[in-house]
Amino acid sequence: MEITGAAQHEAWQARALPPIEQLRPDLWSIPVPMFGPLRYVSVYVVALDGGGLGLIDTGWDSDEGWTALTKGLTSIGAGVEDVRGALITHMHGDHNGLSGRVREASGAWIAMHPADVAVIDRPGGRDPEQFVRDQIEFLVGLGASRVEAEGDVGRPEDMEMVRRTAIPDRLIEHGEVADLPGWSLRAVHTPGHTPGHLCFAEERTGLFFAGDHVLPRISPNISTITGGAPDPLRDYLESLAAVGTTEPAEVLPAHEWRFRGLKTRTDELIAHHEHRLGELLDAIRANPGSTAWQLAGHLTWSRPWDQYERGMRIFAVTETDAHLRLLASRGDITGTGSPAPTWTLAVR
């Protein structure tokens, strides 16, 4: 792969926020800060024929995020009131979080794939108390004790942001061209990270706006979720293989830095998950009759397992569950029991 976002890469190494960049005469990237190790999401801004702006993603819902977005727009000679529409790559809060404030300030439309809208536009997607109940039951169904699940999920009062989640007023399906005059941004449905994740292939310039589907350094989290797809890792690997058949002029991901070499990176990600599946099979062989919750502790993570708790542990366990489901669909393992299946190697 070739790093094309040099300033982004340098900022990443320095653990700093990258600069606002003009990438083309009619295209900019604005880093919007967020919590967690990824530190920021790149919001891409396009100038439209006839005036106004379009956004790809909006950023994390916080006062700091709103200030970064609005000051970024001011720095390019515009304002949030100039936004006509926003394409949301997927439903996660660092991508859709500020959509409601953008729409309220500008009257802009918000567009997302219907599969993600279906997940967030339900009681558990917008009501903090129901969200917490759903999460606890989901983790219990993966093998957590109720005390462990309650401790990791947290309190409803800490989940108020789900109440502010914007429901898009437009749906955009695979193959559709977005309503952003002067641009030919064709939606590419790439489920896996979320059921309705979208990339956008710009047919005029050859740019590929990748969202979280393909990142240059890390593997995006592929997890099972309440109300989500039954086999998200299978979806993800198929989506990787599909986009890996093209070689765009440049890949513009939502995190980290821009790069060239999409096929190389998709091949690396596919190989990573196959290695992970092999590691999980070894863990099941050594610990037959274990739940997803237990098996996660036998896998290799970025830090010792006893340091994982709350959100980090939830992501790790639900990612383990996604790998278990793929192994089961391949006929490699068998799950038995309820509410939390225990897993053993399949008899061949």
Helix (H, G, I), strand (E, B), or coil: what is residue 300? coil
Whether 143 and 274 map to the same domain: the answer is no
Same domain? 223 vs 191: yes
Question: What is the band of 195 on the pLDDT scale with cuts at 50, 70, 90?
Answer: very high
Structure tokens at 116: 């993600």
pLDDT classification of 115: cutoffs 50, 70, 90: very high
Q: Which of 141, 135, 140 is nearest to 155 (CA)?
A: 135
**Once rounded to an integer, what is the mean pLDDT over residues 290-295?**
98
Residue 170, SS3? strand
What is the number of domains present in the chain? 3
pLDDT at 49: 97
Q: Are residues 31 and 50 in the same domain?
A: yes
pTM: 0.96
Query: Cα separation of 314 and 135, whole Å?
Result: 9
pLDDT bracket for residue 347 (50, 70, 90): confident
Task: Give the tens place of pLDDT for each residue, 212-245.
Answer: 999 999 999 999 998 889 999 999 999 999 999 9
178 plus 78 within the same structural domain? yes
User: Is the per-residue pLDDT at 348 higher than 80?
Assistant: no
- Residue 209: phi and psi, rounded to 5, are -85, 110
Q: Residue 105 above 80 pLDDT?
A: yes
Q: What does the pLDDT read at residue 248?
A: 97
pLDDT exceeds cutoff 90 at 163:
no
* Mean predicted confidence (pLDDT) in 2-11: 97
Q: Mean pLDDT, to the nearest integer, of 62-79? A: 97
Asked whether residue 265 is domain-assigned, the answer is no
Tell me the pLDDT band of 99, cut-offs 50, 70 and 90.
Answer: very high
Query: Which of the four pLDDT bands, split at 50, 70 and 90, describes residue 183?
Result: very high
Model confidence at 58: pLDDT above 80: yes
CA distances, 340 to each of 131, 209, 337 (Å) = 20, 38, 6
Judgement on whether residues 99 and 198 belong to the same structural domain of the protein:
yes
Q: Tell me: pLDDT of 270 over 90.
A: yes
Q: Is the per-residue pLDDT at 191 higher than 80?
A: yes
CATH number at residue 333: 1.10.10.10
pLDDT in tens, 130-157: 999 999 999 999 999 999 999 999 999 8
306-336: per-residue pLDDT in tens?
A: 999 999 999 999 999 999 999 999 999 999 9
Average pLDDT of span 95-103 = 97
Same domain, residue pair 82 and 34:
yes
Domain of 135?
124-158
Residue 134 domain flag: yes
What are phi and psi for residue 156, nearest 5 degrees? Answer: -60, -35
- Residue 89 belongs to domain with CATH number: 3.60.15.10
Average pLDDT over residues 26-48: 95
Query: Residues 217, 139: one domain?
Result: no
- The percent of residues in the chain predicted with pLDDT above 90, rounded, is 92
- 287 and 142 inside one domain: no
In this structure, the answer to whether residues 178 and 317 fall within a common structural domain is no
User: Between the CA of residue 247 and those of 46, 207, 209, what are the distances in Å?
Assistant: 22, 10, 13
Same domain, 36 and 149: no
